[in-house]
């Protein structure tokens, strides 16, 4: 079956996310997967192909997450009460930043982006451009349905997202992703979101 290929991918991701692509050897991967080094070349053309497949998968995962967020947002536009923004956020937090697979790929991108054009683009897209664009759209919509008062939605998105990004960097993308760290992150986020929405809604 394709069990072995899957194992290779998961082990590779684990190691890549810890040490970076180039610091992980085929030997390291195979030792963990429990196959001989030559066997890996039955499943992948070369070492880089493993990385490529991981990035591919990440992008489709992230895309589907983003699509789901988008449609949830549209639903909210029609019937503001059916879907809380809590649900929206949880999607981004639980199934993206804190999701085992995505979290590891993001760590990997953090390293690779410094020297790899492709990684750089993916990194910028999925850690800056997409989240900021989405959040900007959220605030525009909230303004439209008059839940918050009109303002620069791009700037609001930055104010909203920057602390999330900072907390993520500090708690989620360094060291092992333990439950304790997840809780620290969650706590910081909750505090931030609470105050943030308090502020933007206080006048209404």
Among 4, 68, 113, 184, binds its own copies (CB under 8 A): 113
**What DSSP line would sit under 50-64, residue for residue?**
HHHHHHHHHHHHHHH
What CA–CA distance (Å, rounded) separates 45 from 41? 6
Taking residues 17 to 56 in sequence order and writing x for each that binds DNA by CB under 7 A, - otherwise, the string is -------xxxxx------xxxxxxxxx-xxxx--------
Give 67 or 169: the residue with its C-beta nearer to its own copies. Answer: 169
* The pair of three-digit structure tokens given for residue 81, joined into one six-digit string: 């009460």
Give 26 or 91: the residue with its C-beta nearer to DNA. Answer: 26
Per rule CB under 7 A, is residue 6 in the interface with DNA?
no
Chosen from DNA, its own copies, none, partner binding at 6 (C-beta under 5 to 8 Å by type)? none
Give 23 or 180: the residue with its C-beta nearer to its own copies. Answer: 23
* The pair of three-digit structure tokens given for residue 202, joined into one six-digit string: 């206080």
List, in sequence order, the alpha helices (H) in 34-129: 40-43, 47-78, 85-92, 100-112, 117-124
Dihedral pair phi/psi, residue 114, rounded to 5°: -70, -25
Among 159, 181, 182, 186, binds its own copies (CB under 8 A): 159
Q: Kindly determine how many residues on this chain lie close enough to bind DNA according to the rule CB under 7 A.
A: 21
CA 75 to centroid of chain Cα atoms: 23
What CA–CA distance (Å, rounded) separates 197 from 160? 9
Chosen from its own copies, DNA, none, partner binding at 52 (C-beta under 5 to 8 Å by type)? none
Per rule CB under 7 A, is residue 137 in the interface with DNA?
no
Give helix 47-78 / helix 117-124 axis angle, nearest 10°: 20
Query: What residue ranges bind its own copies (CB under 8 A)?
Result: 17-20, 22-23, 107, 110-111, 113-115, 120, 123-124, 128, 155, 158-159, 161-163, 165-166, 169-170, 174-175, 191-192, 195
């Amino acid at each position: 079956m394709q069990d072995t290929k899957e194992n290779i991918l998961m082990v590779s991701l684990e190691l890549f996310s810890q040490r970076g692509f180039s610091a992980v050897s085929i030997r390291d991967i195979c030792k963990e997967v429990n196959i001989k080094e030559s066997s890996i070349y039955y499943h992948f053309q070369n070492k880089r192909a493993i990385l490529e497949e991981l990035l591919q998968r990440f992008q489709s995962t992230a895309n589907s997450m983003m699509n789901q967020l988008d449609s949830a947002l549209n639903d909210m536009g029609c019937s503001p009460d059916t879907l809380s923004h809590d649900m929206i956020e949880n999607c981004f937090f639980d199934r993206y930043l804190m999701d085992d697979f995505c979290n590891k790929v993001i760590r990997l991108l953090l390293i690779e982006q410094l020297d790899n054009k492709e990684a750089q683009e993916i990194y910028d897209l999925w850690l800056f451009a997409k989240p900021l664009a989405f959040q900007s759209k959220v605030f525009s919509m909230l303004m439209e349905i008059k839940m918050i008062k009109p303002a620069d939605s791009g700037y609001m998105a930055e104010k909203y997202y920057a602390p999330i990004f900072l907390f993520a960097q500090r708690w989620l993308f360094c060291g092992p992703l333990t439950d304790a760290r997840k809780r620290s992150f969650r706590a910081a986020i909750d505090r931030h979101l609470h105050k943030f929405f308090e502020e933007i809604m206080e006048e209404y």
